[in-house]
Structure 1
Amino acid sequence: MSDNVALNAVRFARFCMDKATGYRHPSESDGNNPKLAEKSKMTESKWLVRMIFLESIAAVPGMVGGMLRHLHSLRRMKRDNGWVRTSRLFNRSTPTDSESQIETLLEEAFNERMHLLTFLKLYSPGLFMRTMILGAQGVFFNGFFVCYLISPRTCHRFVGYLEEEAVITYTRALADIDAGKLPLWKNLEAPDIAVAYWDMPEGHRKMKDLLLYVRADEAKHREVNHTLGNLDQKEDPNPFVSVFEDEAKPHPSKRLENAKPVGWTREEAL
């Protein structure tokens, strides 16, 4: 039941975001209707509006979850089984010792915020969009806060489904680039903030490369949250920072090797 609640909540959120950003995915029948074809046409600016709106919301769950688990650990006066330990993204440079204590869920929130800051270098939202984001964030933060207190498992499942929508969004944007529908992005260089954050190599610093990095991040967040949603929220350790005795078998990791889009089952994770 909780999985169905999470899925339907994401579908509702997707519907609201589509309306807010003016997004409509084109279909084959649009070719016979010029008005629908024009409405569903996604330009570079429309894609950036959608991505900025998406990332401004996607950065909330990790912050809320990390904060509540931190407070829970303080109340119980116990360690948190690695749930608030680092989960370095697979495509970041090797962390220093000081970075090794960055919390898993807060790192996810930080990563999403870096997506937002990157896209803001390419598009500056107007007052109307900023107001919409302010309202959406206020509602979402408080709603997610209450829901996480009630059922953390449902919330992690919700985020897993939300990240799946993000993967779909970036996949469609990449398809538009390949199809020549976004000519302004064909040779557009990624912002310096993105080059530094992902340590993008020479010759792979175009807009398409940037979207590939962002999509990979979202895919990893999807796997992590679906896996966390499969665990006992109070007792099970965080498998993404665990050391496994049987290294021959595939296990959850911080990288993309053995990635599972639907997450690891509890038996596999432990």
Structure 2
Amino acid sequence: MATRVATTIVRSLTRQTSPRLLSTATGTSPGLVGAEPAVATWWIMSAPVFGARNASTMTLAEKEQKEQKEEAVGGGGGATEAAAGGQKGKEVASYWGVPPSRLTKEDGSEWKWNCFRPWETYEADLSIDLKKHHVPKTFLDKFAYWTVKSLRLPTDIFFQRRYGCRAMMLETVAAVPGMVGGMLLHCKSLRRFEPSGGWIKALLEEAENERMHLMTFMEVAKPKWYERALVFAVQGIFFNAYFVAYLASPKLAHRITGYLEEEAIHSYTEFLKELDAGNIENVKAPAIAIDYWRLPANSTLRDVVMVVRADEAHHRDVNHFASDIHYQGLELKDSPAPIGYH
């Protein structure tokens, strides 16, 4: 009697489930009729999992065809590649048809970087004046200047002359202002239905450039666990503090960033002195730096520090300029943004 009831319920449920997932011969799952009550009850409890709403966007037939095709194409080569530990041949199967990009360098070799593209590379302008300094005159300027100076003291104590790790910490902080400023200007542009004058892109471009500095120095300096923990703490505090500062006074926020970049120039100048004195080994430049700044193949760490320092000088100019715009009673959108000014 229990078996009949279970079979009846099973047949009722199979009529409600997706027909693609059932046998085309009977419309029911083979082997259930005459099964033990416990087995039938288990199948009933599991049946909703196979419903159409929980199914993949691919049908089972399409999946089987895809797997057979992959096996036919892969053959023995796939097994050899897997044995070699290569993941190169693996691709994400997408129902939406979004093609993965296939990029090459000018010499035809494969472009191996996913964090930036060939059209985002550039040659740094090393002719920029590194000695320019904004003399603080107003109260806000002095507040920004001494705030940055006070932040330098614990950094000097903690890192001392380990400039590789110091650069790593510096870039995790330096990449925050551009992202915060760009995000807030983006939201402001949406609220007011007005353009930004290109400043959203300029600030996000700055943040991305600073992030690439970090990706480069991560290849040079391997941070210890407590240095990584320090990054978490400093970034969490600085992000929120800068966010509030930008909401309260954009001219103060940009002035703080300008002075931060001046300190960065000083730190990289000291880095260069240590390299020239032989206290830090002038190793070969990381491959990511050679491709990002279009450096010669035989470039060294000193060449990388030179281009990074030039970038920081450009960011110094952009942020002091942005602060000056606000000091004149204007908004950033009133002046064209220096897009591409690294």
TM-score normalised by L of structure 2? 0.56
Question: 2 CA distance for matches of 1:210 and 1:254?
Answer: 18
1:174 aligns with 2:272: yes
* Superposed displacement of residue 235, structure 1: 5.1
Partners of 1:163 and 1:219 within 8 A in 2: yes
Partners of 1:152 and 1:233 within 8 A in 2: no
Q: Which of 142, 147, 151 does residue 9 from structure 1 map onto? A: 147
- Seen in structure 2, the aligned counterparts of structure 1 residues 192 and 5 have a Cα distance that, compared at 3 Å, is same
1:58 aligned residue: 174
What runs of 5+ residues in structure 1 fail to find an aligned partner?
24-41, 85-102, 242-252, 256-270
Aligned residues: 200
1:136 aligned residue: 234
* Superposed displacement of residue 9, structure 1: 1.1
Q: Deviations over 1:151-204 (max 9, x none)?
A: 00111111110000000111111122222332x22xx1110110111111244x
Q: Which of 164, 179, 199 does residue 83 from structure 1 map onto? A: 199
* Superposed displacement of residue 239, structure 1: 4.5
1:36 aligned residue: none
1:199 aligns with 2:294: yes
1:20 aligned residue: 158
Give the letter for the 2:287 counterpart. Answer: D
Q: Where in structure 2 are the equivalents of 1:1-270 lying within 5 Å?
A: 1-21=139-159, 23=160, 42=161, 46-84=162-200, 103-182=201-280, 184-185=281-282, 188-203=283-298, 205-231=299-325, 232-233=330-331, 236-241=334-339, 254=341
* Superposed displacement of residue 126, structure 1: 1.7
Question: 2 CA distance for matches of 1:20 and 1:72?
Answer: 38
Percent identical: 44
Question: 2 CA distance for matches of 1:115 and 1:81?
Answer: 26
Give the letter for the 2:314 counterpart. Answer: K
Question: 2 CA distance for matches of 1:73 and 1:190?
Answer: 40
Partners of 1:47 and 1:173 within 8 A in 2: yes
TM-score normalised by L of structure 1? 0.71
Query: In structure 2, the residue corresponding to 1:59 is in which secondary structure?
Result: helix
Q: Which has the higher contact order (CA 8 A, sep 6+)?
A: 1
Question: 2 CA distance for matches of 1:109 and 1:254?
Answer: 13
* Superposed displacement of residue 19, structure 1: 2.9
Question: 2 CA distance for matches of 1:54 and 1:19?
Answer: 14
Question: 2 CA distance for matches of 1:179 and 1:225?
Answer: 33
Give the letter for the 2:150 counterpart. Answer: F
Q: Which has the larger radius of gyration?
A: 2
Partners of 1:228 and 1:238 within 8 A in 2: no
Q: Deviations over 1:210-258 (max 9, x none)?
A: 10000000010001111111002355223425xxxxxxxxxxx837xxx
Question: 1 CA distance for matches of 2:279 and 2:158?
Answer: 22
Partners of 2:198 and 2:333 within 8 A in 1: no
Give the letter for the 1:47 counterpart. Answer: Y
Question: 2 CA distance for matches of 1:142 and 1:227?
Answer: 23
What runs of 5+ residues in structure 2 fail to find an aligned partner?
1-138
Give the letter for the 2:158 counterpart. Answer: A
* Superposed displacement of residue 135, structure 1: 0.5
Question: 1 CA distance for matches of 2:182 and 2:341?
Answer: 18
